[in-house]
Structures are given as C-alpha cells and as structure tokens.
C-alpha cells in the first residue's frame, strides 16, 4: 500500500479513536455509571466498497 493510503488511514483511525473516546467519556459523565457495565458497538462503513465492519465490546463505568 502507498504512503498516502497509510497516512490517510492512520489519520482517519486516530480521529475515530479520539472523538469516540471524548463522546463516550461525556456520556458516562452525564449518567449514573458506577459499577455498571455497558455493551458498546462501533461500526465502520465504506458504502462504495460494500464494507460494514462492526466491533463489539463492553465498557465498565467508574466506581
């Protein structure tokens, strides 16, 4: 893969990571989360390529 591809991919994934973390932290601050575990799902799509990638997991609220 080309350097341009790698750089654009890394830039996108960094933006996804940073903005997702900020959104999750804000939602957790605005809710009662102590001791609770939340199911989480992230979806990345590229419609033109028919890509629909899902990642699931859990996030535990602060004690």
Q: Whole domain around residue 43: which residue ranges? A: 3-60
Tokens representing residue 5 in the block: 């591809």
pLDDT at 62 over 90: no
Predicted local confidence at residue 58, as pLDDT: 97
What is the pTM assigned to this prediction?
0.82
pLDDT at 32 over 90: no
Alpha-carbon Rg for the chain, nearest whole angstrom, is 15
Segment (H or E) for 59? strand 51-60
Tally of structural domains, the chain: 1
Count H helices and E strands in the chain, helices first: 1, 2
Quote the percentage of the chain above a pLDDT of 90.
Answer: 83
Q: What is the mean pLDDT of residues 36-62?
A: 96
At residue 2 the predicted structure's pLDDT band, cuts being 50, 70 and 90, is: very high
What is the Cα–Cα distance from 45 to 36, expressed in whole angstroms?
29
């Amino acid at each position: 893969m080309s350097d341009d591809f790698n750089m654009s991919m890394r830039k996108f994934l960094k933006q996804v990571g940073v903005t997702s973390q900020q959104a999750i932290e804000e939602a957790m601050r605005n809710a009662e989360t102590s001791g609770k575990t939340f199911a989480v799902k992230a979806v990345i799509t590229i419609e033109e390529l028919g890509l629909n990638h899902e990642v699931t997991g859990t996030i535990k609220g602060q004690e």
